[in-house]
Amino acid sequence: MAGGGSTTSVPAGTPITNISLIAGDWTGTITPPYEPVYLKITPDRKLVAAWGPNYAWGTVTLQNGQATFEMHPPCWRAPSGFT
């Protein structure tokens, strides 16, 4: 996900040591094909994402100050970009 904003604000480079730092509604753009993506992270570390006609859900894991996610159906498993 590139660009975007959120209802949550985390300064770049902030270690993610608590889910409350990233819980909330996020928007951005998947590159390519440059379509909007909508992501919700809940306090219990669950996530839901929607883009185009696609929908996925998953979990967020925090480790060493970074957040990663795993989504189902298995379309993505990657670092979240939060550090």
For the stretch 53-76, pLDDT in tens is 889 999 999 999 999 999 888 765
- What is the count of structural domains for the chain? 1
- Give the model's pLDDT for residue 5: 47
Domain housing 38: 2-79
Assess contact for 76 and 59: CB atoms under 8 A: no
Q: Are 49 and 57 in contact (CB under 8 A)?
A: yes
The CATH number that applies at residue 30 is 2.40.128
pLDDT in tens, 6-57: 555 678 888 999 999 999 999 988 888 888 999 999 999 999 999 888 899 9
CA–CA separation, 60 and 78 (whole Å): 10
**With contact defined as beta carbons under 8 Å apart, do 42 and 49 qualify?**
no
pTM of the model: 0.76
Distance, in Å, from the CA atom of 26 to the CA atom of 63, rounded to the nearest integer, reads: 21
Kindly report the backbone phi and psi dihedral angles of residue 20, in degrees, each rounded to the nearest multiple of 5, phi listed first. -60, -20
